[in-house]
Chain A
Amino acid sequence: MVLHKIKRLLTKLGAGCVNKIWRLGAGGRLFWLTLLSSGESFRRFRLTIREVYFTGVLSLIIILVSAFFVGMVLALQGYHTLQKYGSSEAIGVLVALALVRELGPVVTALLFAGRAGTAITAEIGLMKATEQLSAMEMMAVSPIARVIAPRFWAGVIAMPVLATLFSMVGILGGYLVAVPLIGVDEGAFWSQMQANVDWEYDILNGVLKSVVFGVACTMIALFEGYDAPPTAEGVSRATTRTVVTSSLAVLGLDFILTSFMIAM
């Protein structure tokens, strides 16, 4: 009896693993095909720009508002700790580094997955369910070149821009709390930040992270939509999976990237 249960559990586990690996392969294949058929999204760049508008501009508000609050909280928490050591002027550096190196890219990617990623999955899934992708194929137009690739590049372009804006607005939020509210010296706030934030080590690495997150989040959203069973239920499940998978991928990738960046 117990043996039987264990056997069933193992079978289920194995099937789950095989399924996950299979999906990883299918996702990789779609990624490769997307890269191969990307020519058109650059030749007819208007297609990509249109998607940048939809993915980027639509998530702009939520990202900017979040950035503002994150920046303010960082300043409050940072000040609270730093003043114990009598170095409250370092608050500017703390806010800037936390945002540029970590919170900017990561929180932007998480919000992007929730706002733009789900929209992408639902859109592609519905296009599939209503046979729009099939119709395109019958018109001798590749849906990967015409629908998937422009959205992919739009996500890859939008993410670093959004992350940069996140960091900028976050720093503004931190400034408003630290200087006018708490009364930290304005000159010290900015000059310490300027002196201690390194262009290559901090800013470029942050941008690199957000590019990687852009690739991951957009590709996951596109794959989930493209792979969704063509039913209402299938699309709604795929949308949920987009958020879960993207979030995990972002946090996992962040750890990997950070460890490489610190080691170098």
Chain B
Amino acid sequence: MANAIVEIQDLSFGYKGRLLHKGINMTFPKGKVVAIMGGSGSGKTTLLRLIGGQLKPTKGRVNVCGEVVHEQDREGIYRLRRKMGMLFQHGALFTDLSVYENVAFPMREHTNLPESMIRDLVLMKLNAVGLRGAHALMPTELSGGMARRVALARAIALDPSIIMYDEPFAGLDPISMAVICDLIRSLNDALGATSIIVTHDVEETFQFADYVYFVADGVVAAEGTPDELRQSELPFVHQFVHGEKDGPVPFHYAAPEYHASLLRGAR
């Protein structure tokens, strides 16, 4: 695709020799909200780290804004990261800084803006996530949903062109979940950014995503718009979308045959 801002090409990656991704291809067009779905442990977080250049692919590559991430030196990777905002699974707010200072952090590190300008920008970002009133609190004084929103404000502090979300709904109550859903879509459109959302919450994601990739066994098992996937007859997609316990994704972690290991007394 010509206007792809992030492209994953034939990507393979594994920790300690055991391959986690086996030839993944994905495209993230500018301005879209794209979701990556898959079970826990399917390597979704790892995929975001590969895009951010924190890990090097074993094979294949990730292009960000037309540049190959793993071929960059430190300077180059930092330059690319300045275009990205990432929301970590548990927020990863700096616990020794207030909410205000957390959001101001990227601005203080990367710009020479005067204090008055930083103040305006921070309050604007906090306002966008509905937490301007909480600017003086410390991260430990926030609820899970609030912490996630502050982390989001921090992730968009420098108006990134790529926003990555790692399981933004995990552990949230339904109201906070709806708030985050709305924010993801509205921030994406307001900033003209591209959003990559890693999640396993089907219902929420299908409401606002433009395109969805399913990852299973290290490959893209299915892809399409939410409507296409809802109609899909693929057994895996059916199992995932309808939350069935057993199916192509087995209930058991890969293990030697049960009967045989009992006989052998294996651990």
Contact = CB atoms under 8 A, between A and B. Distances in A.
Nearest to A141: B109
Contact of A135 (B79, B82, B86): B86
B94 A132 contact: yes
Contacts of B96: 123
B105 interface: yes
A3 interface: no
Contact of B81 (A130, A139, A146): A139
A139 B105 contact: yes
Interface residues of A, number: 15
Contacts of B95: 126-127, 130, 132
B89 interface: yes
Contacts, number: 47
Nearest to B109: A141
Nearest to A139: B106
A139 B96 CA distance: 17
Given A138-B52, A138-B81, A138-B84, A131 B106 contact: no
A176 B81 CA distance: 61
B81 A135 contact: no
Interface in B8-26: none
B92 interface: yes
A245 interface: no
Interface in B81-121: 81-82, 84, 86, 88-90, 92-96, 105-106, 109-110
A134 B92 contact: yes
A128 B88 CA distance: 13
A146 B109 contact: yes
A139 B154 CA distance: 10
A137 interface: yes
Given A137-B54, A139-B105, A131 B88 contact: yes
A137 B105 CA distance: 13
B90 A134 contact: no
A140 B92 contact: no
Contacts of B79: 140
B74 to A, nearest CB: 8
A77 to B, nearest CB: 44
A33 to B, nearest CB: 11
Contacts of A130: 90, 92, 95
B125 to A, nearest CB: 14
Contacts of A141: 105-106, 109-110
A135 B109 contact: no
Contacts of A146: 109
Contacts of B52: 138
A138 B85 CA distance: 8
A135 B110 contact: no
Nearest to B160: A139
Contacts of B94: 127, 132, 135-136
Interface string A114-135: 0000000001001100111011
A132 B109 contact: no
Interface in A110-168: 123, 126-127, 130-132, 134-141, 146
Interface of B: 52, 54, 77-79, 81-82, 84, 86, 88-90, 92-96, 105-106, 109-110
Given A123-B96, A131-B92, A140-B81, 6 more contacts: A127-B94, A127-B95, A132-B92, A138-B86, A139-B105, A146-B109
